[in-house]
Amino acid sequence: MARKPVRIKFKKGEKKELTRIVSSHKSEQRMVLRAKVILLAGEGKRLEDISRETGLSPQNAGKWRKRFQEKGLDGLNDAEGRGRKPEISPEKQAKVVSLACSKPDNGKLRRSQRDIASEVGMSQSRVCEILDRTDLRSHKTEYWCGKSPDPEFEAKQTQIIGLYMNPPENALVICVDEKTQIQALGRTQAVLPMKEGENRKLTSTYKRNGTACLLAALLVHQGDIEGKCVEKNNHESFLELLKELNINYGDKELHIIADNLSIHKHEKVKRWIKKHKNIHIHFTPTYSSWLNQIEIWFGILSRDVLKDGVWDSKEELIECIMKYIKYYNDKKAHPFKWTYTGKVLTR
C-alpha cells in the first residue's frame, strides 16, 4: 500500500524564500533541489513523485523534508562540519553592505559593484552575491511621494476628498490646472509608419517649433473637460478661465480645486472671487497636487496625444489638442473611480 503523502505547512515568509532560491540563477544547485523538495511536499506530493521530479532518491528527499519540518529553512543547510567552508567573513560581508549604502567621497553618486570589490578585496561576483542576498540594488533609484510640510494637510486633504466623495447639492466640483511647455517637436526627416514586422520610426534628431500652454478644467462628477490654449500662463489667463466657467455653469455653486501656484492666489483673482459668492476655491496641500484629479487626465492626454507626437508648428499642436478634447468629451468622458486603499496619509 502506498504511503499517504505528508503535506508541509509553511511559516510566514518560508514559501517566498524557497521560491526565491529556486528561481534565482545564482543559487547553488544543491540548495535549489532541496528547496524544490520542500515546495513539492507543500503541494502534498508523495516522496516517489518528488523523487521523479527532482532526480533525488526518495530517501534523500525524505531526509530534507524531515530536516525542514524540524528546523525550517535552517534545516536545508549542510550539517556543521560538512560542505564548503565559508570564504568570506561576516565582517567583510558587513563591509560590502556598508559601502553599498554609503556615498563615496570622490564625487561619484554611488559605488559600483566593481568599486566595492576593489575596496574590500574580493571578486565582483561575490559582491553581487552578497548584495543579492540582502536585496540591495545600488544602481537603482526609486521615487516616493514625500510628506507634505503643509501644517493644514489633513484639513485640506479631507475637504477635497469630501468634495469628491460627497459633493454639495446643486454644486459642481471642478479641478483646474495648467500644462505648460508642451513642445511642438518636429523631426528632421519623415516619420516611417508602422508596418508588419517593424515599429513606427522617428529620427533621434528633432527641431523645435514652439511651445503651447493648456489650461484645463475637469468636471469631476461628469468627466467632461473644458480646455483652452493660451499664449502666457499668468493670473489673467487663469482669471479668464474662471470667468468662462462661471458663464457656463454660473447657476450652480462652483467648487474649484487648484494647486498653490502663485497666479491662482493673485490679488486680482481673490478680488474677483470675493465678488462671486457662488465660487469657492480649494487649494491642495503643499507638494500634494496629486490630490487634483486633473493630473489624471493630463496623464491620459500625454499618453494618447503628446508622447512621440510630431508637429510642424505650434498651431498644428494646439489644433490636435483641442480636437482630442472634443473627442474625449464625446466618446470617453466619465468620472474617475478615484480610490485609495493604503494607509491614511498624514503630514
pLDDT in tens, 32-60: 999 998 898 888 888 888 888 888 888 88
- Please give the residue range of the domain that contains residue 116: 90-133
Domain count, the chain: 3
pLDDT surpassing 90 at residue 11 = no
Inter-residue contact 298 to 182 (CB < 8 Å): no
DSSP 163-214: HHHSPPTTEEEEEEEEEEEEEEEEESS--B--BTTB--B--S-EEEEEEEEE
Whether residues 44 and 171 share a domain: the answer is: no
Q: Using CA atoms, how far apart are residues 142 and 226, in angstroms rounded to an integer?
A: 35
How are strands ordered across the β-sheet holding 225-230?
Answer: 225-230, 206-219, 171-187, 253-258, 279-283
Domain membership flag for residue 141: no
Whether residues 276 and 230 share a domain: the answer is: yes
Whether residues 36 and 128 share a domain: the answer is: no
Per-residue pLDDT tens digits for 233-264: 999 999 999 999 999 998 999 999 999 999 99
Domain membership flag for residue 170: yes
Whether residues 120 and 216 share a domain: the answer is: no
Domain membership flag for residue 216: yes
Q: What is the DSSP letter of 226?
A: E
Whether residues 286 and 210 share a domain: the answer is: yes
Q: Choose among 158, 260, 173, 168: nearest CA to 218.
A: 173
Q: For the stretch 270-307, what's the b/e string if a residue is b when 16 or more beta carbons lie within 10 angstroms of its beta carbon?
A: eebbeeeebbbbbbbbbebbebbbbbebbeebeeebbe
Whether residues 183 and 306 share a domain: the answer is: yes
Domain membership flag for residue 324: yes
Q: What is the pTM of this model?
A: 0.66
Per-residue pLDDT tens digits for 131-143: 988 888 877 888 7
Cell of 148: 507634505
Domain membership flag for residue 148: no
Inter-residue contact 258 to 284 (CB < 8 Å): yes
Per-residue pLDDT tens digits for 145-173: 778 888 999 999 999 999 999 999 999 99
Average pLDDT of the residues of the chain: 89
Tell me which residue has cell 516616493.
144
Write down the pLDDT at residue 347. Answer: 54
Domain membership flag for residue 9: no
Whether residues 264 and 128 share a domain: the answer is: no
Whether residues 72 and 164 share a domain: the answer is: no
Which neighbouring-strand residues pair with 229? 214
Query: What number is the average pLDDT over the span 310-334?
Result: 96
Domain membership flag for residue 343: no
Whether residues 213 and 256 share a domain: the answer is: yes
